[in-house]
Chains A and B, each alone.
Chain A
């Protein structure tokens, strides 16, 4: 029932590597715990119940205004940016070391990168808690936050780049040592994700360094808000793949092992990741379908490219389900769909990831609607959108990270998982809450309810929304309970006195492939053609329009405090 233990791990990480990865998870879970506190408050506010005045002791009062928007900013920044980035860099460090079965080439680089991220978090936290940066996690100019907010974000992003550099050097050294071996899938997957992230974050780096900080420091009198949005969404959509791909890496490369089977197809798993590298970036205009400053022709092109990125996700659906079916039939599962019952539902790590996948099915279907040039007109900036991304980042990603944590924390600490049954329950509670919450958000969004709005205060809310908004509040509260159970399980696991019996460890579950990875074609293990193709596609899909917008820059908008 508990994550399997073994006395003969394939490769043991050093104590200091484990501690280093553990720090990532510690900051990630702490951010999630604080950020999620605001989730149910937002949900309740939509239903007309304002609890913010009751928790004002949590905020550092500087100008005396605490608001839904400060809570929403904290919720978005801590959950969507900090929880994800810290967890992903930690998990990726593990996947690099354990996949390659060699330590980091220059650990100091990774450590510098990580502590830079922590410094960035602290720097950004000051204005966030002081209500000087209540600009939401999209921080659209010319709305302005305190400069420290942007500086903190830059440090977090640059820190993650430096950690990525440490991965590349490690992989390069490994390649020199192992010229004829296919890169282990799990390592290839997280390194592709890091490369994609570095390409994607060029957009936000330009936005913050070239446009926002000069305004924030008072060096220039205005900014071009449309151009800022274009740079922001250059990063903004691939950002969701940066969150998602580590979950995919686990579904492909680890979950089959945990379920008692093997990866169905090594080649196609790799192909999916290369396609994500290729297609994740050049589709950001689908977030700008209703922006006035982007020609509709480019919107159409990006709409079509967004459908293209659906292909590797559909590929993933097949391979993951086929791997699970293989495992379930080996365990005695029968029937066309009956095999699902034979999966190890008593294992909290497996259950979390299976439920993540189920919710992601709905998320994917909704995403197709968002990506549609035409349908988006009905959905844009309605409650449908947060309804959608709670199924992706807050379900597919977050529940998968719950599942990973349930073996990762015992692996790192050498301590047994505390109350494995509670671990199983946490995901089911969260899943139930999410079903109610996301269904209600999608529905009320279709009826016209705007996102990011405390509807309890809005004068235009028709009576027909109320029932749905009530379900939003109920669902949000249930999710929060599930999440707190998760936090309790991993926190007690990490800080308890009890240790695993002498000599026993929880190993990293790494799935074998049915097909020998050495029989995977060489072009699925070679960087150059994919990097070139990625660059070419980005230049074609973004270049002309980006040049137009940059040449036409009009920095006429002065900054405004929210």
Chain B
């Protein structure tokens, strides 16, 4: 499938308008790439990253997963929240934290893949058996925030949700 050698070198002909368009296209894409870079490295937008491996079959034999829930690290300032996703509920399904505190979410699954999306926040990630998903979030406004399963996990998927109660 190789193509013939030709003796003369043929230059790539590009129409001037198209050349201008190509430059503009590259410029637009570079601007997008820079924006994403700024968001990722300077504005503190974080994505879940490799945290820890667990065994979904023995997960709940030992702490912290044997007793998922809220751990107060520094009162009013820092909390760890452990959530286990199961078909078709979260354990726990109600979490209470104060407004303004840094909350670290740790979520994993004991069965199939699930999702974990806290409505009206940037907390949104996959929950995969064998892996621990984590993100940190600070709730500024008191209120109730649902967390819902966003990945199909079986027949009861649509009813799988819980909620974070943020106290003043």
Contact = CB atoms under 8 A, between A and B. Distances in A.
Interface stretch (A175-183, A207-215, A403-411, A478-486): A175-183
Interface of B: 1-6, 9-15, 17-18, 21-22, 25-26, 28-29, 32-33, 35-37, 39-40, 43, 45-51, 53, 55-57, 87, 111-113, 115, 117, 119-120, 122, 124-134, 146, 148-155, 157-159, 161
Interface stretch (A28-36, A335-343, A444-452): A444-452
B158 A455 contact: yes
Contacts of B161: 458-460
Contact of B3 (A291, A311, A315, A525): A525
A256 B2 CA distance: 28
Nearest to B111: A560
A318 B55 contact: no
Nearest to A289: B47
A264 B13 CA distance: 12
A554 interface: yes
Contact of A373 (B40, B117, B125, B129): B40
- The residue among B11, B37, B50 with the most chain A CB atoms within 10 A of its own CB is B50
Interface residues of A, number: 85
A381 interface: yes
List the 7 shortest-distance A-B pairs measured between CB atoms, nearest first: A381-B150, A374-B39, A314-B25, A292-B133, A290-B125, A292-B131, A525-B3
A494 B35 CA distance: 52
B152 A452 contact: yes
Interface in A267-322: 267-268, 271, 288-296, 299-300, 303-304, 307-308, 310-311, 314-315, 318-319, 322
Contacts of A552: 53
A143 interface: yes
A292 B107 CA distance: 10
A267 to B, nearest CB: 6
A19 interface: no
Give the interface SS of chain B, mostly helix, strand, loop or mixed. loop
A315 B22 contact: yes
B50 A293 contact: yes
Interface stretch (A224-232, A242-250, A502-510): A224-232
Interface in A103-151: 136, 140, 142-143
Contacts, number: 232
A496 interface: no
A226 B131 contact: yes
A202 interface: no
A551 interface: no
A558 B129 CA distance: 10
A311 B146 contact: no
A143 B158 contact: no
Interface string A236-274: 000000000000000000000000000011011001000
Contacts of A554: 53, 55, 130
A382 interface: yes
B132 A292 contact: yes
A381 B13 contact: no
Contact of B2 (A222, A300, A373, A526): A526
Given A296-B46, A318-B18, A458-B159, A307 B33 contact: yes
Contact of A265 (B3, B15, B134): B15
Nearest to A374: B39
B153 to A, nearest CB: 8
Contacts of B45: 373-374, 377
B119 A522 contact: no
Contacts of B5: 522
Nearest to A179: B4
B16 to A, nearest CB: 12
A557 B55 CA distance: 8
A60 interface: no
Contacts of B129: 142, 225, 556-557
Interface string A525-536: 111100000000
A318 B23 CA distance: 12
Nearest to A297: B49
Contact of A69 (B4, B43, B46, B152): B152
